[in-house]
Amino acid sequence: MRDVAIIGVGMTKFGELWDQNIRDMFAEAALKAMEDAGVKKLDAMYVGAMSSGLYTFQEHIASVMADYIGQVGIPSTRVESACASGGLAVKSAIIEVASGMSDIVLAGGVEKMWDADDGSMILATAADQEYEGFHGVTFPGLYAMMANAYMDRYGLTREELAQVPIKNHKHAINNPNAQYPFPLNLDGVLKSSMVADPLRLMDCSPITDGAAAVIVCPLDRAKEFTNKPIKVKGIGAATGPIALHDHKDLTRLDAVRLAGERAYKMAGVTKDDIDFVEVHDCFSIAEIIVAEELGFFGYGEAGKAIANGQGTYGGRIVINPSGGLKAKGHPVGATGTAQILEAVTQLRGDAGKRQVKDAKIGMTQNMGGSGGSSVVHILEAV
């Protein structure tokens, strides 16, 4: 297997992009990434999207996008793993280059969510339809059960839980691509609409339109394209129980732990080597559990630690410098790709006011459903 590097990144602004359809968004991100890498011709591409069919009635989007960005003829593959689609698309592109099959490969993620009438039901297709969906449970309800179990067991308070979105909004203020770059205070969280007790609106990631893309190539060719290549140091992916009731413990996300362990092993690093992490904070409680499963805090400790400033600049580790899903936005199929883009931006030292000082190694963690899948990347500035 060859070492692989990321040589180009690009994304749209995240938000309500009423003037752009799914292909416009993908093309904007892909062409920006290609321009960033200085490549005009791809060998192959991967497109991550959770549900372009239900959201926009457009399937077959791997070919649509290859055609629309002027690369018709190359192999192009759709990757779907619910909200982890974007992260797995990047993983697939990396493996294609590592295997020697291709040299210049694009991985993009996209989701056009605002055109749909009932997005909740579309998102709920990522849950276990027979045991969860048909009974009316949607993701806020599933994560609310996890939050209740966690708060009950570890004594996390509602006020402490609120510190997760407050921190992420603070980070997003310095991200020009963020959907909601506004400050959020405790009152703003605690008085926001109740969605699924104890989760309020400000605990929930938003509906977002957006796309992101990265270009990968063999590490030994990376300097042809950029003087700041970012090495892919480790990848880990795993599946977990699709239904929440099959989790052995409601306060754990096994797929995240397994994916993290595999990525650490491949990278040959430990949690102490990671300078920052982009995690899948689809709901406030998710960030807390994920931070524990990745080893940054002991079980039952992440919530209080984040509330005490350990998840931001000057703390134990900067979690979600981009603003995370909550404040940067969560176009589900694009989220994992955008996490990689944030990590690359940080490792290049190009993150401006949200730059994590002396960032050398960064991690991203992308997740599908209530832990039915997860993918972790560890990247390094070389």
Partner 1 sequence: MIGIVGFGSYVPAYRIKARTIAAQWGDDADTIERGLLLTEKTVPGQDEDTITISIAAAKNAIKRAGIDPQKIGAVYIGSESHPYAVKPSGTVLVDALGIGPHVHVADFEFACKAGAEAMFVSYSHVKSGNMEYSMGIGADTSQGAPGDALEYSASAGGSAFIFGTKNVVAELLYEHSYTSDTPDFWRREYQHYPRHGGRFTGEPAYFKHVLGCGNALLEKSGMKPEDFAQAVFHMPNGKFPLKAGKILGFTNEQMKQGWVVNKMGNTYSGSSPTGLSACLDVMKPGEKVFMISFGSGAGSDGFIFEATDELPKVQPLAPTVHDQLDNNKIYLEYGQYAAYRRKIRFND
- For the annotated catalytic residues, the residue numbers are 83, 330
As measured in angstroms, the least distance from the Cβ of 322 to partner 1 is 23
Comparing CB distances to partner 1, the nearer of 16 and 80 is 16
* Residues near 22 by beta carbon (within 8 Å), at least 6 away in sequence: 49, 52, 55, 56, 58, 61, 110, 111, 112
Residues that bind partner 1 (CB under 8 A): 16, 18-19, 114, 117, 191-194, 207
Least distance between partner 1 and beta carbon 60 (Å): 26
Q: How far is CA 337 from the centre of its chain?
A: 6
**Helix or strand holding residue 229 (H, E):** none
Amino acid letter at 349?
A: G
Distances (CA, A) of 264 to 245, 253, 261, 318: 28, 17, 5, 18
DSSP 122: H
Identify which of residues 114 and 131 has a Cβ nearer to partner 1 in the complex.
114
Nearer to partner 1, 18 or 248 (CB): 18
**Packing angle, helices 158-172 and 139-154, rounded to 10:** 120
Of 324, 320, 300, residue with least CA distance to 312: 320
Tell me how far, at minimum, the Cβ of 15 lies from partner 1, in Å. 9
CB closer to partner 1 out of 17 and 106: 17
**Are the C-beta atoms of 316 and 305 separated by less than 8 Å?**
yes
Q: How far is the CB of 18 from partner 1 (least distance, A)?
A: 4
Q: Shortest gap between Cβ of 19 and partner 1 (angstroms)?
A: 8
Contact 243, 139 (CB under 8 A): no
Nearest partner of 51 among 92, 110, 98, 130, judged by Cα:
110
Residue 18 or 270 with smaller CB distance to partner 1: 18
What CA–CA distance (Å, rounded) separates 371 from 258? 11
